[in-house]
Structure 1
């Protein structure tokens, strides 16, 4: 029988989660006990906050723009763009990848760009290319499921595009709207490791060898070795990792500022790309839990999101995805676009080639 944590909403479906007699999960108990670790983390965060203030108050670029913002049109990127322009007086180039963005989110994008009078660069990727790799990855998911497998690959392409644009325009700084808990810590916390930007190519060589991409498409992926030895590469930073952050306050502020029509337009469930519903459906089927639950449970645990709100939202998300109704109707449309059947959404066991699934699906 599945249990749900009384504090953070994690369930026993999530690997490594267990409960005490009071119905509280081990992660919440560990959070309670980590007073010393939290003090160390806060000391590190304070140093990062000083670095952030110095970086934003004293831009180092010599180009037309001080920074590029990865601008998705969600609550965090809208609010971040406002702060960069109005509070730090930065010359910002807003970057949007125009793929599968819902109409409400496009409304946020247009409102915010117009309200702040910033330049907006829209990248329109190849739908054929995206269809090709999304279809392949959904049929060959890692053990962490569809959201992690597809979105992190997708993220490499998008952030590689932004890096290439920054190099082209000689922009020294890329700012992202990641909230605490995004992305995985091994990818980046406050700042992406400079070694990953300046020394590692992000070309998925294995997929080129499998024939998913042809050689001419290598230029679509970030490769610092295309630039000279003296090249200076941008930094990538995530301010919300060091600023005080509260999800509800960000949503309210974005609406108050006129950057979004109302709270529904900045609700993270509604503003995400529509293919995400297929990924959630796949993870509920194969993993047995909503893939966003660990991320938002962490925010709840740390007092940065409201448990009462996410209790309702998780129920609604799971219901819509499992039954393919309301927003879950996008699942059938996405399956049709990708020419896939539900039983082809598979987690591959690298050792045996077997497919892992949850009983009952």
Structure 2
């Protein structure tokens, strides 16, 4: 077993089993950022110029239409700030929200505040709850860490399907390098878009057919949609100076937006999953990834991150409340949910997958300069 070690620059450690360190004790996540990401990531004047060119292309594609792009909005900080930035650059986005049954009240309020004050249209797609529930239970039963995959997969698949059906050429996403340049290790969070794995887990542990649940695939969203249908997924936040604390301050003051205790906590399920289930059952604390990104981009000190990591993401009272909430929502007992917690841990390798395609695609994208994100 690998001896425990923590990066001397960020807070990533050997809970990422694939992590490596140089002679100075700096991890490969940090070194990848320095050598691969930072030199090819352009904000400032160059980034703004590139963004304005993109904006003109988006506007041209939307002439004569009610909107020129769609923005996937969760109510979280990234998608909320993106929506504000898009309107500042004169775009006419349709705010697209997918309700998978786990919205927090804060997320609902935040979406409504932005949509109302910016005068935008909101489209909400509601996922079939009985199918979502069955699929999520299947993932609990499978023993894998990435039990949030059914929710994330539905988000991507639904948005792609809507764009294709309505001839929308641009999907704007809040994904960004400023707060996400360090990525979750693949053993922590396997690719959410792998429909082969999703269907295999459901085939083994599900109890009802997935008739209405939306699915996508790597070939569909990496080849068919962009190169055949001409639908582009773009990340405008990579072209602007995106400081998370400043963005939160702006949204709070301008829209009465309500911050969350942690990234991704706009979803009740993700709050339970990332705040408790993942660190408790598997020892994977996603805050390490989030803080590492903020450290290398100069938005947080290592000392601040280490201090925050001393305390669990969720306190014991909140954990008990959320544990009961999730069990009741899924219509199972807390004992059954605890049984899934106590069951042997599995990995994505225990089920069918398209990992080979993902790894090959990632190498090709990086060689072509189309993907700047750090290693997974």
TM-score bin, normalised by smaller chain: 0.7 to 0.9
| Distance of 2:214 and 2:241 partners within structure 1 | 36
Give CA-to-partner distance per residue, 1:23-76, whole Å, 9 cap, x none. x543477369x45x4564237999887554322133223432111000111122
Q: Alpha carbons of 1:113 and 1:297: their partners in 2 closer, same or farther (altered >3 Å)?
A: same
Aligned-residue CA RMSD (Å)? 4.0
Output one character per residue of 1:293-335: Cα deviation in whole Å (capped at 9) or x when no partner: 2233132123244545544544444452xx3x23662123213
What SS does the aligned partner of 2:97 have?
strand
Is 1:334 the counterpart of 2:314 in the alignment? no
- Aligned residue pairs: how many? 325
TM-score (structure 1 length as normaliser): 0.73
Distance change >3 Å, CA 69–CA 312, structure 1 → 2: farther
Aligned-partner Cα distance in 1 for 2:110–2:246: 17
Residue 347 of structure 1 aligns to a residue whose secondary structure is: coil
Structure 1 residue 212: Cα displacement: 3.2
Paired residue for 1:171, among 159, 164, 168? 168
Maintained 8 Å contact 1:73/1:105: yes
Residue 297 (structure 2) aligns with:
302
Distance 1:70-1:306 versus aligned 2 partners, 3 A rule: farther
1 CA distance for matches of 2:40 and 2:215?
34
Change (3 A) 1:150 1:128: same
For 2:269, which of 268, 271, 275 is the aligned residue? 275
Higher mean alpha-carbon deviation, 301-310 vs 247-256, is at 301-310
Instruction: Give distance in 1, aligned partners of 2:120 and 2:52.
Output: 21
Measure, in 2, the Cα distance between the counterparts of 1:309 and 1:343: 36
Correspondent of 1:247 among 221, 244, 249: 244
Distance 2:324 2:312 in 1: 16
Counterpart of 2:148 in 1: which secondary structure?
helix
Gaps of 5+ in 2: 187-192, 352-376
* Residue number in structure 2 paired with 1:100: 102
